[in-house]
Structure 1
Amino acid sequence: MNPKGSENTRLPPFDRTVATPEQLAVLDEILSGPRGNLAGPFLAWIASPELAQPAQRLGAFCRYRTGLPLRLSELAILVTAVQWRAQAEWQIHYPIAIEAGLPDAVAQSLLAGRRPDFADADEALIYDFAVELYDAKRVSDAIFTQAVHRFGHETTVNLVGLLGYYALVAMTLNVFAMRKDRDAPLPFVE
């Protein structure tokens, strides 16, 4: 059941034939949902279905229903991948971000550890919000006010949830040394 490139000595192979009913329920919900695959942290989380089920549901919400356009959600995810140097998170979300309309120059600046030259004010705001939260562990009144003014209170709450969820994903991917494709070059130096 391991997707291509997910072979990993830190994760036991997942065998559907010996999975518990709880594991199968999580697996079936993930595979029948908008993701349709087990890319990302799910092969680690499936060992703990009580964690996996609410986490994957939170992830579906954070990825698809935050109120942010996909381009901005993916930017927040790439900022998170850079902050955590999460190889698989970048490998999975970089092409999604580009397809969603994030300029490649923005992504390449992130990857190089530089603040991008943003042509889009919303992208700059998402970047500033995320980086300030990760670096200072807080968001200033100025950035918070800008976010609420631009996106609304509910979407700002959802942005915080998205950043927290993808930090959990990044930690999982890093601890279990997960990659999207073991043959692809790594975006971050190990």
Structure 2
Amino acid sequence: MRLRSLTKEELNDGQLALYNSIVSGPRSTGPQHFHLMDHTGALTGPFGIMLHSPVLGRPLQELGAAIRYQTSLSDRIRELAILSVAADTDSSFERYAHERIGRAIGMTEEELSGLRERRFTSDEPREAAAYELCEMLNRGQLPLSDDDFGRLSAILGNNVLLELVVLVGYYRTLSQLLHVFAVGPPHAA
């Protein structure tokens, strides 16, 4: 890691407020599929990075919480979208965290392997369309043609299209942070 992990005792007021919002927010409730904190109490993954700049970290974590817990995306579509970004950007932390979540929501090892290898398929039209859109975004196939937009919008609806575009952009940002600051999955992974 290129940034020092910050423990709760080392945080200034702004950092502590961000830390508390992460550890007491929706990420900390329900089943924990990956650890938000390491054995010292420092936040793991992108959350530890966010603490170094609370002015950016707060809105980033709030956007992430909105994407994960407040959108209309089904759990499966949300996780296949996140894992498509993890595969495209080779984000080991996001793969580690979200494959665990994927398993918990019933994704099969075959599906997870397909996402890892960028060959995911689904007989469910919404999942197939969501994955297609994510791959177009991941590969920079922009702007979408009117035909592609019309076809995907007819299957997914404009709200889901908007949510997926934001999700892909957010997780690409997290991946860049994780890569630049050399943050991977916890050693206990």
* TM-score scaled by length of structure 1: 0.84
Unaligned 5+ residue runs, structure 2? 29-35, 37-42
**Aligned counterpart, 2:182:** 177
The structure-2 alpha-carbon separation of the partners of 1:56 and 1:47, relative to structure 1 and needing over 3 Å to count, comes to same
Unaligned 5+ residue runs, structure 1? 1-7, 185-190
The reply on whether 1:16 has 2:21 as its aligned counterpart is no
Task: Report the 3-state secondary structure (helix = DSSP H, G, I; strand = E; otherwise coil) of the residue aligned with 2:19.
Answer: helix
Q: CA deviation at 1:127?
A: 1.0
Question: How many aligned positions are there?
Answer: 175
The reply on whether 1:25 has 2:17 as its aligned counterpart is yes
Q: CA deviation at 1:72?
A: 0.5
Contact 1:133 1:139 in 2 (8 A): no
Task: Report the 3-state secondary structure (helix = DSSP H, G, I; strand = E; otherwise coil) of the residue aligned with 1:181.
Answer: coil
Which one-letter code corresponds to 1:12 in the other structure? R
The reply on whether 1:104 has 2:97 as its aligned counterpart is no
The structure-2 alpha-carbon separation of the partners of 1:99 and 1:141, relative to structure 1 and needing over 3 Å to count, comes to farther
* TM-score scaled by length of structure 2: 0.85
Task: List structure 1 segments (4+ residues) > 6 angstroms apart after TM superposition.
Answer: none
Q: CA deviation at 1:183?
A: 5.0
**Aligned counterpart, 2:156:** 151
Identity %: 33
**Aligned counterpart, 1:138:** 143
The whole-number CA distance in structure 2 between the counterparts of 1:174 and 1:167 is: 10
Deviations 1:132-182 (A, max 9, x none): 112113333333223322332222111111111111111111112212223
Moved more, 125-134 or 79-88: 125-134
Q: CA deviation at 1:24?
A: 0.6
Q: Which has the higher contact order (CA 8 A, sep 6+)?
A: 1
Task: Report the 3-state secondary structure (helix = DSSP H, G, I; strand = E; otherwise coil) of the residue aligned with 1:41.
Answer: helix
Which one-letter code corresponds to 2:135 in the other structure? V
